[in-house]
Amino acid sequence: MKVLKYLCMIIILVSCSNQSEILLTKLEDSAKMEEAKLNLLELTKKNDNNFSFNFDIQNFELGIQTDSENVFKIANSKKGQHIHLILNNDPYFAKYSSNFEHKLDTNNNIILAFLSRSYHESVKNKNAFVLTQTGDQYDLNSEFLFYSRPKGSYKIEDSNDILLDFYLVNTDISKNGNKVRATIQNQEFIIDEWCPYLINGLKKGEVSVKLELLDPNGELIKTPFNPTFRSFIIE
C-alpha cells in the first residue's frame, strides 16, 4: 500500500510539473505615436457591395518599419505600418494604402479602422481611429471592445511573446472602473489598463481566447460584440 501511495504521489507531481502556466505581461518600449491621426474622407459604394475607402493620415507613415526593438521580438509585418480594418468585429484586414476598395458582405456593417505599428500593435489615441457604419443598425455611442490580436497561426519557436491587443471605443478601463476579462485556454486575466500585452506559456495546438468588457461590478456590459470569441494556432 505504501508503494502504491508513493507511486500516486509521483504521478501527481509529474502531472503538475507538466502543466504550463500561461503568463500575461505588458509589452514595453512601444513607439510613442501620440500625434498620429486617421480621418475618413470618403466611403463610397461602387458596385456589388464594393466600397471605396479614402483616408487622410497625418504624423504616421504607412509601409515603413516601426522604429522599435519590438519589430525583432514579436510577429512583425514585412510590409510595414498599416491600417487595421475591422468589420463587425471579425478578424481584421491589413491595409497598406490610405485609398483602397473592399467588399462588404452585408448591408449593415460597423466599421472600425485604426493605425497599426508594423508589429500589429494598435495606436491608442483619440485621433488614431475611425468608427462608422453602413446602415443604421448600431448606436455608435455605445461602449465597444474590438478584438485585434492574436490572429492566424504561429510557429512553435515563435510562440513566446505573442501579442494580445484590443481596441476600446467610447469607454476606458481602470482599477475602479470598467475592466476587460481575457480568458486564454480557460485561464482568466482581469485587465484594468489599456495597453498591449504579451502571452507566454502556450503549447502547440489551437488556442482559444475570449474577451469581455465588464462594468465596475464585474458584470458583462450589454453592448454589441461582447463577449468576443476567437482562436489561433500554434504549429
Nearest to 75 by CA among 212, 180, 196: 196
Q: For the chain, how big is the Rg over CA atoms in Å? A: 20
How many Å apart are CA 85 and CA 211, to the nearest integer? 19
Mean pLDDT (whole number) for 67-83 = 95
The cell 510557429 sits on which residue? 155
Give me 69's grid cell.
Answer: 526593438
pLDDT band, very low/low/confident/very high, at 174 (cuts 50, 70, 90): very high
Give the least confident one: 18-27, 44-53, 58-67, 84-93: 18-27
Buried b (16+ CB within 10 A) or exposed e, 147-169: bbbbbeebeeeebeebbbbbbbb
Nearest to 117 by CA among 28, 31, 26: 31
Q: What is the DSSP string of 58-93?
A: ES--TTS--SSGGGGTS---TT-SEEEEEETTPPPE
Give me 13's grid cell.
Answer: 507531481
Render pLDDT for 127-167 as a digit per residue (tens, 0 to 9).
Answer: 999 999 998 889 999 999 999 999 999 988 877 899 999 99
Check pLDDT > 60 for residue 114.
yes
> What pLDDT is attached to residue 2?
46
Asked if the bond preceding 216 is cis, omega within 30° of 0, the reply is no
pTM comes to: 0.90
Check pLDDT > 90 for residue 56.
yes
pLDDT band, very low/low/confident/very high, at 7 (cuts 50, 70, 90): very low
Average pLDDT, the chain: 91
Render pLDDT for 18-36 as a digit per residue (tens, 0 to 9).
Answer: 346 999 999 998 888 999 9
Q: Is 103 exposed, middle or buried (0-12, 13-18, 19+ CB in 10 A)?
A: exposed
Mean pLDDT (whole number) for 108-112 = 94
Check pLDDT > 50 for residue 5.
no
> What pLDDT is attached to residue 20?
65
Q: Could you give the angle at the alpha carbon of 92 between the alpha carbons of 87 and 93, nearest 5°?
A: 100
Cα 199 to chain centroid distance, Å, stands at 12
Give me 181's grid cell.
Answer: 476579462
Of the chain, the percentage scoring pLDDT greater than 70 comes to 91
Q: What is the dihedral of CA 103, 109, 112, 113, to 10 degrees?
A: 20
pLDDT band, very low/low/confident/very high, at 55 (cuts 50, 70, 90): very high
Mean pLDDT (whole number) for 171-193 = 98
How many Å apart are CA 211 and CA 77, to the nearest integer? 24
Give me 8's grid cell.
Answer: 500516486
